[in-house]
Structure 1
Amino acid sequence: MTVPRPLLPHLRARLPALGASDRKVAEVVLAQPGTVVFWSVSELADAAGTAKSSVVRFCQGLGLRGFHDLKLVLAQETAVEHRGAGPDASWTGGQRAADGSGGAPAPDLLGTVVWRGVETLRDAAATVARDAFDATATRLAQAHTVLLAGSGSSAPLAHDAAQRLRSIGVLAAAPSDAPGQLVAAALLERGDVCLAISHSGATRGTLAAVTAATDAGATTAAITSYSHSPLTELCDHVLVAGARAASPRVAALTSRLAHVAVLDALLVAVALRDEPRAEAALARTSAALAEQRR
């Protein structure tokens, strides 16, 4: 098995799909990668509340030979992070403050939160599969109609993406409510695309829209934070771009940065696949907006 690199973002994306024992080990590794480097296998097992054999199996499940290899990978990745550390390199206090979980306030809360966003974007670049990205961009560029589906904090991203796709000549829509998305999905046809945006990959309304789009013969794609979820099981193309945060509440918020970055990249890729169409549409859009500014 090939070890996914960088390891930590991929491990974070796989977390919900891990078994109970593996998940306990993974949570400790993700929370304290720089500390695990100096631990023995017994210390990691104790911290995770599991057996040493479980730690070894966890490492082998990642494609590593054993715990020693895990420490080598963690040492390499945490060294890179420390070389590029933000204004508050000891970010634990900032994490507590940013997560709303108590503790002393960070010396530079703004810097800490912004640096967390930088890390999130870097992870997104590592976890999005390039073949899935290229396939999604091609399908969007060729589609007659594109439906953007998203609920909660993902809904504004869907609306913005639909508007920007229209500005480069792609017929796109993002109904604001779940019933509207479901009806629009059911009316799609072969050659159309439904692009779903969901942090958890388990939002009922979004899943219903994707299921309806599949039944209608449309291509389905997802931008989501986890590699295993009900949504990833449904879609033809999956773009995994998650967020590093200890709190699920904060993870859902910071994931929007990663999802916006992926949407921006898709927009550019779609425009480049048909530059004359994009340029003509942008010119008409600029002319229409200019009329409003007079």
Structure 2
Amino acid sequence: METLKFFFFTVIIILAGAAIYGWHLGGKNKQQAAESENRIRRRRDFRANDMVISPQNQAGIAVDTSQRKAVLITGHSDRDVPFSNILGSEILIDNATVTSTNRGSQLTGAAVGGLLAGGVGAMIGGLSGSTTSRTGVRKVTLRIAVDDFHRPYHDIDLLDWSHSDKGILPGSTMEGALKEAVQQAELWHGRISSIIRENDAIAATPPAQDAVPTFATFEKVPQAEPPAPSAIAAVGTCSSCGKPVGDAAKFCSSCGTAVERKEPAPSPTFQACRKCTKLLSADVERCPRCGTTVPVGPAPEGDRMAEAEVSQQS
């Protein structure tokens, strides 16, 4: 009799200790999830429209629709992922895929909400193929696939009852927790599916084509008249530094050297012999051809051949 009392007393102590440990662990997990949420809310470069964080495995997701960016949360670490890098989403119940959406494909699998509408019993029967199954649901997971070679999947355990052999059975006290977990999974699966469909639409949009030329494109654009040559360039350059100098400048504005002005050489004048009409230089007083004295004076207009002849004789 004493042995039996001791046995029952020991069982009660073990159960009480397990309950206290579970309550403490659950409270600690919820506190960690709250700390992760506060960490995301405090970020200045990310404005979360909504987020979900699982107290089960401290994993979650937050979205910023204005920047088209998501944050994948794992404990105390965050991973920023642009919407364009989200490739797929699926709901797993007891590690079996129930529904999924991937880039370039349509929604596949069973409708979780349809199973849930019939109660947990209908849901378990739909998953196991038998309405008389004695095994309940142990785990509900939202899996997100991303374009990351090292970490391609991000699992959020919205419900983890793996410690139980039977899981959550119809009519049990945990039936409400199961419904809530499935509803959360379905809600976020729908949101991620919407992001994926938007990514597909963006990828399918053809790039903007160049505008078709119109007659206006080929109209001649009036060109501006070229500027008149600078007066400075037309006058000359400095003999010292080579910089252009102005017409009235006495000193170079660059180096200060005095500007030398060279007067143009006077054009030569000619005269013609009044007797033989030979074209002579202006300084000749006697015609070398006929010996006639030639008065000094300008010569009449002659041709260029005559001028050349005078140049050769002188």
Query: Normalised by the shorter chain, which TM-score bucket?
Result: under 0.3
TM normalised by structure 1 equals 0.26
TM-score of the superposed pair, with normalisation by structure 2:
0.25
**Relative contact order, CA 8 A, sep 6+: which one is greater?**
1
The answer to which structure has the higher strand fraction is 2
Which of the two has higher C-alpha Rg?
2
